[in-house]
A and B are shown apart, each in its own frame.
Chain A
């Protein structure tokens, strides 16, 4: 009996190490499979040129259209997203009382919106776009990605904004500031959170395929106006991979490398900011 519990301890310790190895193995397997397949076929031409004639049967050209399209969509969505989410976060943490009912319902709504799959956002936005007569376009892509990232932005900023000490705001009030005038104080307090939340949502928007599939479409050209269709990197990977030609598939792997590298840089800088800049908080 006394022995049994030590054996059990050993067994579960072993299982834990196993799960650790498994998860680490998954990470390295994913990265290794993408990089080992993609890096040998990645050329400078692919990153800097548009699809040429016969691109989809394996002729020359690159996926610059997808890179630029993704960047446009992400920039637009991040800008709109911040424009909406910063006021909401400010409202939730400054205007409302800590135990406000409306506040907790709104927070719950954002949590639920965060959980809505991007394919549902895409389908919903698509029906709205049909009703108001917008075709698949850069604008549609930006709007659907904004819907997708606003809950992420709000949730992660709100978590930090809630911890701002009441005394800090009261000091500002006692100096005669109105609530809106404390926004400078609040923003300075949550600045690192704004940065990490932004990077987090840039990563999400950059990697999302299901939402833009409906709303941004796909094109071989760089969009010149908001009503042009826009290509995106994840869809570029997806479409090229389903082609039968090896050359086209190889380009999908190369595009996957580009996408992975961008995402890794974004997520690593998020960690960096979190670690080094959150020290300045009161």
Chain B
């Protein structure tokens, strides 16, 4: 190509620039339109999916779990907002919000007995027993409970799950708590430790030894749990000196049991 010089060159390149800009705008618009169509399609498909599977989502724990996994893998969190599209059309969010309320109600109803902490197993039995009528054939899974607990994280650290075993079969032996103030780190560590021991009672030295804590640190953590009503003390004088044990009613009592009153 012959190299243009002077004014002609400037005019030509300006024209070319304008052409390019024009073309790119068209391409942009096209792709946006295409994207919009795609989104609309996705929306429609989801709507269709939702209307087809809403019952399954509400009533089938395994299906619900699969659905959540799928969402996770494509980077969508259907629980992220309460008024979002997902909640509105899929009813997934609603399900977990309802369950979250039930979890809190169940734990608080027995707070006099266990101070706000109970075995996942006991909680699950009670939730299943009080499942609303419209969920007649639907079972609540542990995964559902965890999802609901996750939802409540945004309300603070008052509710949560303490894992006490790495084995999956022992997952129901973990502890679910709902306390007025958050559990501090040391209390969580202590409860985890006691939960792992499989007992519902401990000595200060037991905990201090296995956590590698000093006496004062251990005592402080236990005292806080006593103030919270999560731990009860047993003290007796004896010929071999004072006998002191700390007990967790949340682990000792079968808290799946209902009130008679």
Binding partners A and B? no
